[in-house]
Structure 1
Amino acid sequence: MKKQHFKPLNSSLLYSIAVACLLFSLHDIHAQRTKTNINENWSYLENDTNKLTTANQAKNWTVLHLPHTWNSEDATDNTPGYRRAASWYKKQLVIPKIAANTVYQLYFEGSNITTKVYVNGKEAGDHIGGYIGFTIDITNLIKQGNNEVAVRVDNSYNPEIIPSQKSDFTIYGGITRDVWLLALPKNHIDNLKITTPKVSNQSASLNVVATINNLEANKDVKLEVSLKNPKGKIVATKKVVPNSVKTTITFDNIKNPELWDTQKPNLYTVTVSLLDKNKEKDLLTEKVGFRWFEFKDHGPFYLNGKRLLIRGTHRHEEHAGVGAAMTNKQHRADMEAIKEMGANFVRLAHYPQDPEIYKACDELGLLVWDELPWCRGGLGNEVWQTNSKNMLTEMIAQNYNHPSIILWSLGNEMNWLPDFPGGDDPEKTTAFLSELNDLAHKLDPTRKTAIRKYYEGSHVVDVFSPSIWSGWYSGSYKSYQKALDTYKKEYKHFIHAEYGGDSHVGRHTEKPVTGEGLIKSEGWEEAIVQTQVANIAQIGDWSENYIVDLFDWHLHVAENDPNFVGNIQWAFKDFATPLRPEDDIPYMNQKGLTDRNGNPKDAYYVFKSYWSEKPFTYIESHTWTERQGPKGIARNISVYSNCNQVTLYHNGKSLGKKQRDSKAFPACGLNWDLNFEEGKNTLIAVGETKDGKTVSDTINVNYRFKKNDTALGLTLSSEKLKNGNYLVTALAVDKNNLRCLDYEERVYFQCLKGGTTMKNQGTPTGSESIKMANGKASIEVIPDADGTPIVMTVLNQNFKGEFLIIKQ
């Protein structure tokens, strides 16, 4: 977990920053471009003044490293709302020498929501929109030696900028992604736009459009373009004289291309050199993938001429402890975990994401639905419309070359909860959607457009997703096939984005609430949550068991429907939202397959059993090791595995070998009835692969025949973790000191002395306020360095507080 440490700014530190900046090596920028990361050693001021002079007079600047958000904790603390205001960032940038004929720029990968940049006291430029990169030219404002860069970032409520504040996710403020100093030759390649007009197994064509900056000042130049295959061998090269600012270089017959697909994401490298009298003046490289795709009318999806069932999930850009200010390593880890699960598709919800994400998707073989952040809020005024069009233009321009992207989404739930009077007018909203659709196709004729849950616009875009939350916000999950059959006929290019439900880690029940007799089991249309219509989201127990069954059913249906495009589960990780203070972990949307730290829940292994190739077995459940029930009552145990055959052992005795069958439910037929013995029960699942290899999983279950009585109090205990911290655990107990496995009320942790709780993390062990899971809740505590005994307390509305002293 990344921690951000703050300390007061002083003169010696300023000197250190200046010395550090001198390390930037820019000695040859007159001949070639350089790109220098400048994330380290920024000063930060939490003050929403709009005047630089006022900010400079403040005394409470602190030092930090980028990326950064001021909402890393307040988005998930126990106080309603989170800071929506402005802050200032400042950096002392030393440039030892200003090179002649050189353009200097600052490149921000993302700064949320509006940004204004000053250099040496003068305004250099600004940007609207928090999820798309932008450059600021600082050439005429810098000087040799020390330069001051100041940045004002503002995430205040602004109805004229998407996404709407009514969206079900946190709009993090700050410079949330990397910042770079660019030095470019005055006559340089501004960008490359790469398309692959014709692709087949036998041949491919390639168009490279190079935009040249300041071409008119130096016409004695040439462009040299080379194409290297995935192994690094040059397979095509061409040298041309630029005929305009935008010059197109075409390769017509690339034989037997190594295609990019989800199993083998082959990437070629395009290198474009700007030559002045045959001497290299500038150079730019891009990756390219040769692939083609098609959404069959009322049918499945094809990639490179072969049917591909889309197996997708969603990804929000945030992580425990840092919010949206994630490192590239953390970004990459998310995508690798998604790929390891076996997914081949990711919808980026609900905004363009960090450049590292697209790079990872290209390299890992993950198809991408990239989304304009028009999320809720309805149609806005003219300024709103201009801002939205600009964002779409920037999104497509920035991400155009990524072979992983196949869909430009124009929005999500757009007409819901309007921010402007009349903003939910369907006629006007659809007219503007049509404008966006035309703009997207003009900017990129090679990809498809999409939206989700705006039915009036379903005929406008190429691909449409209705809202189907079978078994959560509406109906029963067993009505899923009926919903698919209906929508496949209704929509020409139908895809299903968003399904699932919330689960609280460690909460289990022998009989999950399914809604039988309480809800209309044959329905599938989503009932808006705010109504009184009964649904599992309202009346369910949020157990891991129920969500496992729900996902298992959805996958069981999807994997066996030959005419289905595929679906996209919501969402991969738990994420913060200001709209859900009442959730088991406050302000967390707990629909993730992993917790906010990326630790898998049971549901992760359901998907892995259907999708992944690396052999594994997983007994449901590693977080359900304390159970109870009458003697002689058989319990059904499911094993999730991708192996052909699995044998389950109970206390050393084989319960038989079973064959995996994707048409069987639950767990593809890998489930056994067994009678637990009182006390310790050891379960071992052994899976056998096609080539005779075995993999296994083991859990120990403590089973009791005596049911707990009513909870009468709480107990506290602790264990020391490998990282030196302590895990403090509260249990709800009855009069016989039995853990109350049916107790789910909220408890509140507090460290009174000797340490600091890992609070505001939005994780199962990182929240001071949390509902119990089977009568249990825990929190991690960081001990003070001086060894003072830790004093912990836990409270709730039903019992008096309990105390625990931990002697270090």
Structure 2
Amino acid sequence: MTYPFARLTAVLHFAVLTLVACTAHAADPVDVQLAGQPSKASHASSLMAPTQNIYARSHVSLDGRWSYIIDPYENGYYDYRHMPFDQSDSGKGGFYDDRKPKDKTEWVEYDFDHAPTMKVPGDWNSQAEKLQLYEGTVWLRQTFQADPKPGKHYALYFGAVNYEAHVYLNGKKLGMHKGGFTPFQFDVTDKLAKGRNVVVVKADNTRHQDEIPTVNTDWWNYGGITRDVLLAELPATWIADYKVQLAKGDARRIEGFIQMAGEAKAQQVTVSIPEAGIKTTVRTDANGRAALNFPVNKLTYWSPEQPKLYTVELSGGGDKVVDRIGFRTIETRGRDILLNGKSVFLRGISMHEENPLIPGRPRGAGDMRMLLQWAKEMNCNYVRLAHYPHSEEMIRLADEMGLMVWAEVPVYWTISWTNPDTYANANAQLTDLVTRDKNRASVVVWSVGNETPIGGPRNTFMSNLARTARSLDDTRLVAAALEIHRKGSDITVEDPLADYLDLASFNEYAGWYWASNAEMLNYRFDVRYNKPVVVTEFGAEALGGYHADADTRWSEEYQDTLYRNQFKMLSAIPGLRGMTPWVLVDFRSPRRQHPYYQDFWNRKGLVTDAGKKKLAFWTMKQFYDDVQRRYDTPATR
């Protein structure tokens, strides 16, 4: 039971946390006290807000082979009294020192030079057999040469480290970051050495109840440095962040902002879109910020049919950034979804960020393009990137290939709803996601979570996340994958969180976790919202190549029949405007333990772990072909 006073206190507390989290994303380097990080004045964090479009800046890749040491007892972090070495008076003694014996008499119990290596970006689970099921600490080290120049700023950028990362440069701690799927960076301007430098990362993918995600998930907990590592060189004053997008509900106006950082924040900044004949100049204030608001006469709007991207140039303060940006509007009207003012059906599929052909996380654009191309072959115009932020490269490919995107944070199942630190963590991950991808035309939905159970603390937690998403970006839809409620043959979609969302979006597994293929046709949906209905999950497991009759579970025929019956059942829902069945490709999961049919794989994919398309893939494509024909014929809508 939630008492009124306690609930009010929680709301106020979360509101404060939201403000703090948003404020912490200022353009300049800040000393950020992250949730769960011990405070130590002598080790102020160099964590700074990630630079927008970091790949367009002058940078050196630190990817490649990194030496690693497995440390299940965290001997490289704690002394024998279990006190962190980096919080001692000397700050020395941990593996981050990369220490070498001075002579044959000195005692040192680790050695990166003779340690094995792994590829970065890449997870450790798929690169060493003994690490396949490992959860814990692994230390990773890379050496690089640098020649820092006076008057320049330098940032050490990580695309993602799962889950908790402690980062050290030349034996000094830069800071800590929590969250396995969002970027972070450190100001290393005064910490780089001329010549040889050493970066050491303590990566820990241990699951904890109070973290985001929590201990219970249905995907593989890939540990390590799973995305790019860059050393970026920035001018004395640089363009730290920007938003250049169509205004909410106005396809004839661009709104956004410019944020400068560095030594002289008050600057004249020019925004130019040469192909569209646009050039405008603004002046940033003393804090380095200026609003953008200017009309546009003629644009080719981004859409799946014509994924037009414009070259956008921003220059000021001696800095210049070039981006490729698409412009489109997305909104709802009653039970309809409008893309550029035209009704659209979201022909989607859910997908994990995992390449089944090469175990582990995708290691480059080729892996990601293959996954998105499979979706295109199914005639999808939309993908749900579940259940966490996928890489920036994936979103940019969706921009280029013409796929709308549902982007999600890993607030998944049952987490610590009443823990303020847990909320601060979730809010920060959502903020980082929106901050990173706000200029990507493909992103049409910000999702604040998946299958979370109704309850007072949860409702407060999730509604505050929805408010954060809307406050950061009011030009996209806000949603969550809700649960359903069954009574007899009635399926009800009713959740207090829906009042804060733009879509009536939910998961349902008729024919697999409840009812049979035949029985599901007896069910009827009662969606109690005048909002577009998007079914975010349904499906059945099928072992690729296993064939039987349509009543035999695990067979391709059972999965195919379930899809056919789902289409009949779901098409009866008034306001059905999209779906993302679960899932594009079979993926690894420790929860899936049947020794023959699963073997630690979730087999709900429409593509096998060998890249073969199952029967239901073609059934899904035929359904989407039919839907597309109906939407291309206005008289039938």
TM above 0.5, yes or no, is yes
1:327: how far off? 2.2
Instruction: Provide the aligned C-alpha RMSD in A.
Output: 2.7
Q: Give the aligned partner of residue 273 of structure 2.
A: 227
Q: Give the aligned partner of residue 374 of structure 2.
A: 337
Q: Give the aligned partner of residue 365 of structure 1.
A: 402
1:475: how far off? 2.4
Distance change >3 Å, CA 257–CA 480, structure 1 → 2: farther
- Work out whether residues 191 and 212 of structure 1, in 8 Å CA contact, stay in contact via their aligned partners in 2: yes
1:548 corresponds to 2:560: yes
Distance change >3 Å, CA 249–CA 437, structure 1 → 2: closer
CA distance in 2, matches of 1:557, 1:264: 32
Q: Give the aligned partner of residue 605 of structure 2.
A: 592
How many aligned positions are there?
530
1:326: how far off? 2.8
Q: Give the aligned partner of residue 471 of structure 2.
A: 442
1:396-442 deviations in Å (ceiling 9; x for gaps):
11111111112111111223xxxxxxxxx811111121211221111
Q: Give the aligned partner of residue 86 of structure 1.
A: 137
Alignment partner of 1:459 out of 499, 518, 526: 499
Q: Give the aligned partner of residue 124 of structure 1.
A: 174
Residue 495 of structure 1: SS of its match in structure 2?
strand
CA distance in 1, matches of 2:523, 2:441: 32
Aligned partner letter, 1:92: T
1:597: how far off? 4.0
1:188 corresponds to 2:233: no
CA distance in 2, matches of 1:483, 1:404: 34
- Work out whether residues 372 and 409 of structure 1, in 8 Å CA contact, stay in contact via their aligned partners in 2: yes
1:365: how far off? 1.5
CA distance in 2, matches of 1:560, 1:362: 32
1:363: how far off? 1.2
CA distance in 1, matches of 2:625, 2:541: 23
- The share of aligned pairs that are identical, in percent, is 28
1:239: how far off? 2.7
Where in structure 1 are there 5+ consecutive unaligned residues? 1-31, 276-280, 416-424, 514-539, 614-641, 644-808
Residue 257 of structure 1: SS of its match in structure 2?
coil
Larger Cα-atom Rg = 1
Match runs of 1:282-431 below 5 Å: 282-297=319-334, 299-320=335-356, 321-378=358-415, 379-415=417-453, 426-431=455-460
CA distance in 2, matches of 1:382, 1:250: 35
1:41 corresponds to 2:53: no
Distance change >3 Å, CA 218–CA 468, structure 1 → 2: closer
Alignment partner of 2:259 out of 196, 202, 211: 211
1:601 corresponds to 2:599: no
CA distance in 2, matches of 1:457, 1:218: 41
Task: Give the structure with the higher percent helix.
Answer: 2
- Work out whether residues 465 and 495 of structure 1, in 8 Å CA contact, stay in contact via their aligned partners in 2: yes
CA distance in 1, matches of 2:295, 2:616: 47
1:495 corresponds to 2:534: yes
Q: Give the aligned partner of residue 119 of structure 2.
A: 65
Distance change >3 Å, CA 212–CA 427, structure 1 → 2: same
Aligned partner letter, 1:179: V
Aligned partner letter, 1:171: N
CA distance in 2, matches of 1:381, 1:588: 32
Match runs of 1:597-746 below 5 Å: 597-611=610-624
Distance change >3 Å, CA 484–CA 596, structure 1 → 2: farther
- Work out whether residues 300 and 562 of structure 1, in 8 Å CA contact, stay in contact via their aligned partners in 2: no
- Work out whether residues 198 and 204 of structure 1, in 8 Å CA contact, stay in contact via their aligned partners in 2: no
Residue 380 of structure 2: SS of its match in structure 1?
coil
Ranked by relative contact order (alpha carbons within 8 Å, sequence separation 6 or more), the top structure is 2
1:631-679 deviations in Å (ceiling 9; x for gaps):
xxxxxxxxxxx99xxxxxxxxxxxxxxxxxxxxxxxxxxxxxxxxxxxx
Q: Give the aligned partner of residue 21 of structure 2.
A: none
Alignment partner of 1:471 out of 511, 515, 518: 511
Q: Give the aligned partner of residue 583 of structure 2.
A: 571
Alignment partner of 2:163 out of 105, 113, 123: 113
Aligned partner letter, 1:427: G
Aligned partner letter, 1:91: Q
1:353: how far off? 0.6
- Work out whether residues 104 and 139 of structure 1, in 8 Å CA contact, stay in contact via their aligned partners in 2: yes
- Work out whether residues 311 and 345 of structure 1, in 8 Å CA contact, stay in contact via their aligned partners in 2: yes
- Work out whether residues 592 and 602 of structure 2, in 8 Å CA contact, stay in contact via their aligned partners in 1: yes
Distance change >3 Å, CA 436–CA 563, structure 1 → 2: closer
1:222: how far off? 2.2
1:122-178 deviations in Å (ceiling 9; x for gaps):
001221100001111111211111111111110012222111221111121100111
CA distance in 2, matches of 1:308, 1:457: 24
Alignment partner of 2:211 out of 161, 179, 190: 161
Aligned partner letter, 2:475: T
Distance change >3 Å, CA 198–CA 494, structure 1 → 2: closer
Aligned partner letter, 2:285: N
Residue 466 of structure 1: SS of its match in structure 2?
strand
Where in structure 2 are there 5+ consecutive unaligned residues? 1-55, 78-91, 99-108, 484-494, 630-637
Distance change >3 Å, CA 283–CA 486, structure 1 → 2: same
1:358-411 deviations in Å (ceiling 9; x for gaps):
001111121111111011233252221221111111111111111111211111
1:478: how far off? 5.8
- Work out whether residues 293 and 302 of structure 1, in 8 Å CA contact, stay in contact via their aligned partners in 2: yes
CA distance in 1, matches of 2:363, 2:175: 25
Residue 603 of structure 1: SS of its match in structure 2?
helix
